Structure 1
Amino acid sequence: MNKKSLESIASAKAKLEEELRNLEAQEAQLRQGQADGAFAEVVRLLGQYAEYFSAKQRSEVATLAGAATVKSKKAASVKKEVAPKYWLPHTQDTWSGRGRTPRAFAAWEGTAAYKNWKSKHPDEKFPAYPG
């Protein structure tokens, strides 16, 4: 009697598992159909209102859609050459005016030649590059 009960339970369990697999397959089909309809609606709405979204809203939409956050990457090896802004006529040293003052310019600031030049050009920091 015990053996028959176990067999009937195993049989009922197998039937239920099969029914569960069928129901899960039906659910997946229905969800796919709903997703297709929802996608069409989302595309329609985005086409209609996308131009009015802020950058934050666009970023949120991209994140929800699974896109990686887009950040501009700066190439470390490629640096723009900056044109010189200042030069020292007596040494031909040049400086773009960016960053720390080069040693040659800092040293020239303490000389009598700099003071003489500065008295004639009070509004300029260093002599302008002639190019």
Structure 2
Amino acid sequence: MMETKISGLTLRNPLMLASGILGVSYSTMLRVAKHGAAAIVTKSISRRPCKGYDNPVVVVTEDAVINAVGLSNPGVKAFKTEIEKFREHDKETPLIVSIYGSRTSDIEAVMNNLPLDMVNGIELNLSCPHA
């Protein structure tokens, strides 16, 4: 496939996992990488665990599928373990961690708890109304 460069990262092809539910556990991230994704963008991670919204979080209409999960995630301290496990099995696939917070101090706390030596990039989730 076509090699692609994005912000200094060389990807073997232009396909990457977008931030979402498949980017929350090391096992699903490994599966996606094994099936051809050139990079993984994790689910957005916050300072503390976030439950998200109660079901239903997906509504199917005749014309659309709409979801509002509410940024559920295990929090940075628990997610750090998922990053470490992913890197035990895959040292090559670029890993971009999506982070969010409602204050600058929240974003700083997430950054201070990430194993940055195992991460290739950071995505700031600034536009989601749930943050």
Do the two structures share a fold, i.e. TM-score over 0.5?
no
Give the TM-score band, short-chain normalised: under 0.3
The structure richer in helix per residue is 1
TM-score of the aligned structures, taking structure 1 as reference length:
0.19
TM-score of the aligned structures, taking structure 2 as reference length:
0.19
The structure richer in strand per residue is 2
Larger radius of gyration: 1
